Every structure is written in structure tokens, then in C-alpha cells.
Amino acid sequence: MSYPEARYLGENGEISGVLRRAGTGPDLTITKEVDGRPEPSTQVHYLGTGGSTGGRFGLYRWDMGRPASGAAPHFHRTITESFFIISGTVRLYDGAEWVDGAPGDFLHIPEGGIHAFRNESGEPASMLLLFTPGAPREGYFEELADIVMSGRQPSKEEWTELYERHDQYMV
């Protein structure tokens, strides 16, 4: 394995860093109804989107609240997905088995690898999601949030179209 070809060909470097402070609020909040009242179930922080990283990667902090939430088993054809647990317990599926992920645990899934995640602990949990290369995953997250919060029930055909448009293939 070697380094990729140079993308920056200047001689002196440049000032181009982007800092996102820890106190920055979430970019997306998904609210579910629990016991008849709305409760934030997931907050997503767009740390580095495919658009902001020149398509190199997408990095998102996924903060899950107490209501059970997560993604069902699926795979991607064009992107890898990696999970790093920051806090709490997140159920991770590597295509063969479900395991309880704890802070510091890391799971990498290459293209085509079946995977899923869930917070079923009843307690908050947080993780980082890394996609390579950087795809516009925030568009997918926002469409899902709209469906959840509106209560809309898409048809099977609508779900299939949404998933295919976002390189999401359910198993």
C-alpha cells in the first residue's frame, strides 16, 4: 500500500482548516412520540459531509436517546461504513451476529457488507459514523427524519426508490 497521488501541488501549504466546536448543536433532530409526548430520539451532527470534504469521507456523530432506534440490516454498493462507540451501549450487527458495542469499540464494514445498529438499552448512546468515500448521507438522514416525524407511511415502492437513491439495500 502506498500514499495516493498528491492532490495539493503548492509549495507552502495553505490555511484551509475547518473547526467545529464541541458545543455546536445538532444539524438534525429526529423526534418520536413516546407515551403520547414527543421525545428527541436521535440527534445527528454533520461533522464532515461529503460536500465539505471534497467527497473524501462523511463523518457524523449519532446521539441516540432513550427510545429504541437504529437501522435494520442492509448493505451499500458504493460506500464503506464504520462505527466507533463513544458512550453507552449500541447493538452492532456485522452480518453474522449482533453484539453489544461499548465505548471504544470499532466496526468497519466494506462495500457489500451486511450491517445494522440499534440502541435498545433504554439509555442514551453516542457513536461516530464514517462513510468513505463521502456520499450525501445527510440527505438520506433528513428524508428518514421527515418520514418518522410526519407519521407518513411510504409504500413498498416508495421505500425501494428511497433506498436505491441513497445506496441502501435492505436484507
Whether 144 is in a domain gets the answer: yes
- Tell whether the model's pLDDT for residue 66 goes beyond 90: no
pLDDT at 31: 87
Strand 169-170 to 69-75 pairing: antiparallel
CATH of the domain at 78: 2.60.120.10
Q: In which domain, by residue range, is 93 found?
A: 28-170
Instruction: State the average pLDDT for the chain.
Output: 95
- Tell whether the model's pLDDT for residue 32 goes beyond 90: no
Whether 9 is in a domain gets the answer: no
Could you give the number of structural domains in the chain?
A: 1
pLDDT at 130: 98
Largest CA distance in the chain: 61
Whether 12 is in a domain gets the answer: no
Whether 21 is in a domain gets the answer: no
Mean pLDDT of 139-143: 96
Whether 1 is in a domain gets the answer: no
Q: Are 31 and 41 in contact (CB under 8 A)?
A: yes
Q: Are 84 and 128 in contact (CB under 8 A)?
A: yes
Whether 95 is in a domain gets the answer: yes
Whether 16 is in a domain gets the answer: no
Whether 112 is in a domain gets the answer: yes
- Tell whether the model's pLDDT for residue 77 goes beyond 90: yes
pLDDT at 38: 75
